[in-house]
Amino acid sequence: MRTLQVDLGDRSYPIHIGSGILHDAKLFTPHIQGEVMIVTNETVAPLYLEPLKATLAGLRVNQVILPDGEAYKNLDTINEIFSQLLTCRHSRRTTLVALGGGVIGDMTGFAAACYQRGVDFIQVPTTLLSQVDSSVGGKTGVNHPAGKNMIGAFHQPNVVVIDTDTLKTLPERELSAGIAEVIKYGLIRDTAFLSWLDGNVEDLLKLDESAISYAIEKSCQCKAEIVGLDEKEAGIRAILNLGHTFGHAIESHCGYGNWLHGEAVGAGMIMAAAMSRRLGWLDQAQFDMVKSLILRAKLPGSGPAGMSVESYRLKMAVDKKNIDGLIRLVLLKGLGEADMVSDYPPTALDQTLIECTPSS
Amino acid sequence: MRTLQVDLGDRSYPIHIGSGILHDAKLFTPHIQGEVMIVTNETVAPLYLEPLKATLAGLRVNQVILPDGEAYKNLDTINEIFSQLLTCRHSRRTTLVALGGGVIGDMTGFAAACYQRGVDFIQVPTTLLSQVDSSVGGKTGVNHPAGKNMIGAFHQPNVVVIDTDTLKTLPERELSAGIAEVIKYGLIRDTAFLSWLDGNVEDLLKLDESAISYAIEKSCQCKAEIVGLDEKEAGIRAILNLGHTFGHAIESHCGYGNWLHGEAVGAGMIMAAAMSRRLGWLDQAQFDMVKSLILRAKLPGSGPAGMSVESYRLKMAVDKKNIDGLIRLVLLKGLGEADMVSDYPPTALDQTLIECTPSS
């Protein structure tokens, strides 16, 4: 088992990564004061709810099983969690346990942030995406019909338990979507890790235990370093959004859930790299390496066919990073060197969007 | 104008108190980055919305006017605030302004805590209760059908602007309800202020400008000191709940809104004092002074007629302060000396409840 400490002063917490650690009670019990509410969904519950309850045997454990999918990531579903907590008379000493992917983690964390003005919570992420992304950083929340992740809170977990065995039940498409975020960490900040990925991406797809654990640890470490520098996203943390402004536009245009988040981010990173090459910050060989790595991870190599520049611009205009109506983008000033950019020529964005969109 | 600084490190903020200061733009503008969303209700909007908009002239100002009343203090109403913010395309640099009483303040603060994971907000409390209570402490939130204030966040305002002229339009019952909380500060921590109240409570009822400003300042100061010692309510802050555990039981039993919160707290403080006398911590003369002061403020001198001990115990059992099913109470160890108590003889509670309940 590998253990990583996320250093955030009095909100610091450990991340444990290993095979079969869902069954290790001593990773959980130090962070529980007596009552536990497991929040999971209809897909994950049949696989891992009973094993987790067996691990927590002896504690007062209740559960709430939500419908699966981004479509249910809203205030109504959060209210179901509150109702179950109140029905089961959980006090402010309760601990919420998120058992599932990013949607479950985001909602459980937000419910924990707001229940009785804040209770403890534990993340047990069961998808690669949530293991390398949403388990670090304390971002929690839900969507609003008018915008994704527009409602939420910063709330840190007490511990994150990543059992790599849960990836064995993950659909291949979702595994690739998770690898997109792993590649992102190499691109924005760590050229050595990027080289390692170039040599080992196929091992990740095969779920090689040693490769997967290493990639998760490096990803969490990279994110933890950035979050440690900028917990409330005032500055450098924004580079974690490489590919995301493009990606959100794709998800929004196609309807959430049709493209997986990681797939949209994969295509978005190719767009960010293409624009960086257009602005002279990446050379052609570097761009080709980035695109090839993303394709080898079985991710899309371009945006959705026929999506217009106008559609992109409209969707990108509602991004939370924007100030005064300007579309700010995370681009690559070099490999391993991401930066937030807003003083680019508008035509460079338009040409990039056209270049990365197959005609329909 | 009096100004008080609430000292909470990097979340410190000023409270301005004075007659007519709603019209003083320079109290607001330093805390606004460009966009303003005023949140108010149907009762307050006709009185103070246009004056406030005139004060903020030149800024981008939008508004949302909610229905009036505790019945609307829920997640659905919060969602209306989010919808308006998104419809008007407010960024994370927006400032929410709460214009109204405690319900508006609690909901606006919670919306500010959660919109894009946290934006600025300004409190303009227009009732005495909200001026002396909810404008200090950062507690925000909404009710759930199964419990009051069960959902929320700690989120500090950037500034509080208390225009005492707004009390001229406040119904007399609500003025008395506010005085209940003012008396509370004397009882829990400040015997000199308690003596001053004993000599000046009628001036407060007459809205004497100097008396009202002084009482608001002393109350905010007292609460600010306690919150400064214990921002997240881990310990001493609980004494601010003197009378509230009894009071919440009354409000819940009678249906929220039938008894005003301050009225229930007034009766609850008499119960707390009666139990403190029964336990030998107050003498008869001290108890009589407390009860007389509360009655002189035109507040109820007892709980609702016919409410049973079982009803009280059932309602008190869901209080957030409780741990392991024990009903914890804030009682008076002496005048000006409140403490959280859980090792009392259960019969003392039952006898107090019977003593303070008129037969129906």
CB contact under 8 A, B118 and A153: yes
Supply B301's token pair: 């001198």
Closest residue of chain A to B94, computed from CA coordinates: A323
* Region B109-135 average pLDDT: 95
Q: Please determine, for residue B166, whether its predicted confidence score (pLDDT) is greater than 70.
A: yes
- Identify the pLDDT of residue B319: 64
Q: Is B240 annotated as a binding residue?
A: no
Please give the average per-residue pLDDT across B326-345, as a whole number.
92
Candidates A78, A119, A151, partner chain B, best to mutate (most B CBs within 10 A): A151
ipTM of the complex: 0.86
Do the chains contact at B93 and A323, CB–CB below 8 Å?
A: yes
Is residue A233 pLDDT above 90, yes or no? no
From the list B117, B154, B323, the residue facing A141 with the nearest CB is: B117
Active site residue A244: yes
B97 — phi, psi (to 5°)?
A: -120, 120
* 3-state SS, residue A121: strand
pLDDT top residue among A243 and A230: A243
Interface test with A, best of B114, B241, B320, B324 (most A CBs within 10 A): B114
Which residues of chain A have a CB within 8 Å of the CB of B252? none
**pLDDT (tens digit, 9 = 90+) per residue, B58-70?**
999 999 999 998 8
Contact: A113, B153; criterion CB under 8 Å: yes
The C-alpha torsion from A120 through A123 and A129 to A133, rounded to 10°, is 40
Query: How far does the CA of residue B141 sit from the closest CA of chain A (Å)?
Result: 8
- A233 noted as active-site residue: yes
**pLDDT tens-digit readout, A254-293:** 886 789 989 999 999 999 999 999 999 999 999 999 999 9
pLDDT (0 to 100) of residue B321: 62
> In which band, very low, low, confident or very high, does the pLDDT at A324 lie, cut at 50, 70 and 90?
low
pLDDT of residue B302: 94
Beta-carbon separation of A82 and B150 below 8 A: yes
What domains can you pick out in chain B, each with its CATH number? 2-166 (3.40.50.1970), 172-355 (1.20.1090.10)
Give B233's pLDDT tier (boundaries 50, 70, 90).
Answer: low
Q: Which of A223, A277, A278, A315 is catalytic?
A: A223
Contact A78 B75 (CB under 8 A): yes
Q: What is the mean pLDDT of residues B190-219?
A: 96
Average pLDDT estimate for A3-12: 89
Give me the catalytic one of A155, A189, A261, A328. A261
Structure tokens at B272: 């707390």
- Mean local confidence (pLDDT), B87-99: 96
Partner residue facing A115 (CB), from B92, B93, B151: B151
Q: Which of A241, A251, A253, A328 is catalytic?
A: A241
A223 as an active site residue: the answer is yes
Torsion region of B259: left, alpha or beta (phi above 0 gives left; psi -120 to 50 gives alpha): beta
pLDDT band at B317 (very low <50, low <70, confident <90, very high): confident
pLDDT digits (tens, 9 = 90+) for B252-293: 898 867 899 899 999 999 999 999 999 999 999 999 999 999
Residue of chain B nearest A119, judged by CA positions: B153
